[in-house]
Amino acid sequence: MAILYNTDKSLKERVADCLEDDFKHNAIKTAQEVFYVGRGKLVAEMEGWEDLRRHAVEVRNHVTENLDYYVKQFAQNAEKNGCIMHYAPSGDDALWEVLDIFEKHGASYAVKSKSMMTEEVGLNEILEETGIKITETDCAENILQTAESKPSHIVVPALHFDREAIAQIYREKRGYDGSSVPEEITHYLRKILRHEFMEAEVGIRGCNFAVASTGSVTLVTNEGNGRMVDSFPKVQIVFVGIDRIVPDLEALDTMMALLPRSAVGAKMTAYFSLDSGPAGPGEVDGPEEVHIILMDNGRHTLANTEFSDMLRCMRCGACLNICPVYRHITGHGYGSIYPGPMGLVLTPGLVGYDDIDNMVYACSLCGACSEHCPVGIPIHDLIREHRIKIVEEHKNHAIEVPIFKALELFWSNVPVYKFGMKVGEPIMKALAHGDTALAEDSAWIPVVKGWTSTRDFDILSSTRFRTWFKEHKEEQAAQKAHGVEGGEQ
């Protein structure tokens, strides 16, 4: 399964690894700040931001509700433009389609631009296994491919490497002999990649939005590599998730006003391509053959569940950039190519609950993600919805059930509660050794250790508020009665 990775380790172990890596931890924290400060500034100065969001919600919901119609319309129009359409219900189906295309052309060399859909199906690994050379041309993706590392962010995937580390990766794996000055590394990359663009037989790319009314696919990048992937090689393969479709160019405009602002805090990106089919007669550039892989891979199913709001997601990463948990455990803590808040909804939505460990509990439900989501996905509510489903489907840990059953009783029965307070108070007092809080030395006690291993826990007070309140009211009543009597004297 290409969505999950590093599953040999538990969430706890992955988190511990991430926290040990000070560089990664700090890099993500800094990047978060840069992105959301940038986003905040742009949003504040933009008139009608909320109207735009509302409009985007309407547009995206409309497509989800009429998914079959728009999939068909997009496919028909793309076909009219001369594209060859492939419908892939699953990731495996998509891989077979791609392998067929390579076989048909006898191709063995491809360049690729960043695409989450290809990550989702594990395209690179499969192509490499069959002897096809595939080069990532997005700078960050190239670093990851060279380092054999996984993305730590959906928009800026190589955040966890600094310039020194990047230079070292190229020195070790590619014989780079330059310095760690970013310009020098990018110049080196540009030189080797130029050659690959010219040589590659196939270009493989993703698609940010697919326009149904024109059959066009779009690509939003900052480096320009995507434009070369989609114009140099003779054969082009475009991966389009069926949840990328927008009805028309006007809707695309709305989405494009939201995407770069939400993603990286910029009004626009350096490059934006709108491609409608192969090169026409007399056109000097562009591919001769364009294949569009329209991929479902669980999206249709998702559209008919409580999680259908998630199909509005445009992968901007704004929720990652504001998440108080993501900033510490980084993308690698989650063990999914879709990390952070959106990942906690999407990952189990696509792969189910059996292999995700405790992922959906790595969230405090603070709601910052939902507040920042440009397309108004109630992300934290949906994360909780997964937790509810996990319990309903009995996929929760058996060991926690009696604890929650006990809480159910304790929190709904006044005599039981009062008895618990009576028994609990002296016990806690004893454990606190005269202090007002339980300290680290109580971290041997089950459940309690969850808290006191990292923080102190205040003990129960010696009186209940309800007791004070009752006495207070009685006192007031007595005073009132006394006052009335006094008045009569």
Q: Which residues bind other proteins (CB under 8 A)?
A: 12, 15-16, 19, 324-325, 328-329, 358, 361-368, 371, 384, 386-392, 396, 404-405, 407-414, 417, 421, 437, 439-440, 447, 449-451, 453-461, 463-466, 468-470, 472
Judged by beta carbon, residue 92 or residue 441, the one nearer other proteins is 441
* Alpha carbon separation from 379 to 311, 386, 402 (Å, rounded): 12, 11, 29
Token pair 């992105």 is found at 35
Minimum distance from residue 363 beta carbon to other proteins (Å): 7
Judged by beta carbon, residue 73 or residue 330, the one nearer other proteins is 330
Judged by beta carbon, residue 454 or residue 489, the one nearer other proteins is 454
Token pair 């990390």 is found at 339
Q: Which residues, at least 6 apart from 389, have a Cβ–Cβ distance to it below 8 Å?
A: 306, 353
Minimum distance from residue 452 beta carbon to other proteins (Å): 8
Judged by beta carbon, residue 270 or residue 403, the one nearer other proteins is 403
Minimum distance from residue 354 beta carbon to other proteins (Å): 16
Structure tokens at 349: 């939505």
> Strand, helix or coil at 243?
helix
Is residue 112 within 8 A of residue 229, CB to CB? The reply is yes
Minimum distance from residue 415 beta carbon to other proteins (Å): 10
**What single letter denotes the amino acid at residue 100?**
D
Judged by beta carbon, residue 84 or residue 437, the one nearer other proteins is 437
Minimum distance from residue 470 beta carbon to other proteins (Å): 8
Q: How far apart are CA 34 and CA 202, in angstroms?
A: 36
Number of C-beta neighbours around residue 231 at 10 A: 16
Minimum distance from residue 339 beta carbon to other proteins (Å): 13
Q: How far apart are CA 156 and CA 296, in angstroms?
A: 25
Judged by beta carbon, residue 145 or residue 442, the one nearer other proteins is 442
Structure tokens at 441: 């030395």
Q: What is the DSSP string of 377-390?
A: --HHHHHHHHHHHH
Is residue 292 within 8 A of residue 241, CB to CB? The reply is no
DSSP summary character for residue 8:
T
Is residue 428 within 8 A of residue 448, CB to CB? The reply is no
Minimum distance from residue 477 beta carbon to other proteins (Å): 12
Judged by beta carbon, residue 72 or residue 470, the one nearer other proteins is 470
Judged by beta carbon, residue 270 or residue 401, the one nearer other proteins is 401
Strands 109-112 and 133-136: parallel
Minimum distance from residue 311 beta carbon to other proteins (Å): 21
b/e code 381-420 from CB counts within 10 Å (16+ = b): ebbebbbebbeeeeeeeeeeeeeeeeeeeeeeeeeeeeeb
Q: How far apart are CA 348 and CA 345, in angstroms?
A: 6
Judged by beta carbon, residue 253 or residue 441, the one nearer other proteins is 441
* Alpha carbon separation from 20 to 15, 121, 330, 357, 463 (Å, rounded): 9, 30, 12, 21, 43
Judged by beta carbon, residue 305 or residue 358, the one nearer other proteins is 358
Q: How far apart are CA 456 and CA 421, in angstroms?
A: 19
